[in-house]
Amino acid sequence: MGSEALDSFVIKIAGKNVRISTRFPDTAMKYMKDYIVPEDSFDIDAVVSDGELRDIMSELSAENAALGEITNLYRPIAEKMPFYDSVVFHGAAVEYGGRGYVFTAPSGTGKSTHIALWQKYVGDVKIINGDKPILKAYDDKTLVCSTPWAGKEHWQRNVSRRLCGICLMCRSGEDNKSSIERIVPKDALDFLLNQTYIPQNPESLVATLGVLDRILKVVPVYKLTCDISKDAVKCSFEALTGEKLD
C-alpha cells in the first residue's frame, strides 16, 4: 500500500477531542459517527502510518484494510490517554440503575454472553461498550466511558457512567458451580494490568500505573468463577449491585 491522502475529523471520547486521520473516511465515519463533534481543536492526534498499515495487513481488500486501520487507530489514543488520567481497558461495560459495571476476561471466556444474560435475567440493563471502554479516574470516583472500538458485535452507546464495580471472569470447573469473591486492591492490580493497554512510552506507562492505583482505591473488584447460567448472573449481580435477584 502506497502513501495515501488522509482525511480528518474530530471525535470526543472520555472528555477529550481526538483528531482521526484516515485513508478511508466513509468507513471510519460510519463506525465513529456517534462520537463525531464539530470542533477543529484536538487533544490527541490519531493516525496509522503507511508502514504500520503494511505491517498490520497485506494482500487485503480495501474494505478489510479500512477495518484494519480503524482497529489500530485506538493505539495512539491509548498511548496518550494515561496523561489525561484515563486508560483503554479490555472489557464489556454495562449500565444498570444509572451505574456502570465492567466485566473483563481473556478473549473467548464469555464476557459478551454474560452481559447478554444480564439483559435476559435482570432487565433494565444497557450496554455501554462491548470491548474497549475507557476508564477515567478522579480522586473520588471513576467513570467508564464508551468508545467506537466495541468488538465484533459493535455494542456501544456514547455515554459515560460512574464505575461501581469490576468483575474478573473465569470459567468454573467440572462442578459448574458459580461463585464470586472480592479481591483486595494489591491482588487485583495484576489482573487489571493484563486487561489494560500497556503503553510503549515509559512516561505513559508510569502514568498508567498511577491511573490504575487511583481506580483501585475507589472501585471494588471481584473474581467471578462461572458457567453460562442464571446462577452465574445471580452471583455477579448481587455482589456488584448489592441487590437481590429472584
Interval 31-82: pLDDT, tens:
999 999 999 999 999 999 888 777 766 655 666 788 889 989 999 999 999 9
Q: Do residue 28 and residue 92 come from a single domain?
A: no
Q: Do residue 98 and residue 48 come from a single domain?
A: no
Q: Per-residue pLDDT averaged across 80-98, rounded? A: 97
- Return left, alpha or beta for 242; rule: phi > 0 is left, psi -120 to 50 is alpha, else beta: left
Which of 84, 116, 140 is the C-terminal boundary of a domain? Answer: 84
Q: Within a domain: residue 2? A: no
Q: Do residue 149 and residue 189 come from a single domain?
A: yes
Q: Within a domain: residue 152? A: yes
Number of domains comprising the chain: 2
Q: Do residue 75 and residue 91 come from a single domain?
A: no
Q: Identify the domain containing residue 53 by its residue range.
A: 7-84
pTM of the predicted structure, to 2 decimals = 0.92
Distance CA 196, CA 119 (A): 25
Q: Within a domain: residue 104? A: yes
Q: Within a domain: residue 120? A: yes
Q: Per-residue pLDDT averaged across 106-133, rounded? A: 89
State the pLDDT confidence band at 2, using cuts at 50, 70 and 90: very low
Q: Do residue 40 and residue 95 come from a single domain?
A: no
Residue 217 has pLDDT above 90, yes or no: yes
Which of 58, 84, 110 is the C-terminal boundary of a domain? Answer: 84
Which of 63, 84, 105 is the C-terminal boundary of a domain? Answer: 84
CATH number of the domain within which 109 lies: 3.90.228.20
Residue 221: partners with Cβ closer than 8 Å, 6 or more residues away: 165, 166, 167, 168, 182, 183, 185, 188, 191, 192
Q: Within a domain: residue 98? A: yes
Q: Do residue 221 and residue 117 come from a single domain?
A: yes
Residue 173: predicted pLDDT: 59
List Cα–Cα distances, 187 to 13, 114, 167, 169, 172, in angstroms.
30, 24, 13, 15, 20
Total residue length of the chain: 246
Distance CA 53, CA 2 (A): 10
Q: Do residue 219 and residue 104 come from a single domain?
A: yes
Q: Do residue 170 and residue 50 come from a single domain?
A: no
How much of the chain, in percent, has pLDDT values that exceed 70? 92
Q: Which residues pair with 125 in a beta bridge?
A: 96
Residue 193 has pLDDT above 60, yes or no: yes
State the pLDDT confidence band at 176, using cuts at 50, 70 and 90: low
Q: Do residue 195 and residue 221 come from a single domain?
A: yes
Q: Do residue 129 and residue 233 come from a single domain?
A: yes
Q: Per-residue pLDDT averaged across 135-159, rounded? A: 95
Q: Do residue 44 and residue 157 come from a single domain?
A: no
Q: Within a domain: residue 231? A: yes
Q: Within a domain: residue 246? A: no
Q: Within a domain: residue 130? A: yes
Assess contact for 130 and 143: CB atoms under 8 A.
no
Q: Do residue 29 and residue 109 come from a single domain?
A: no
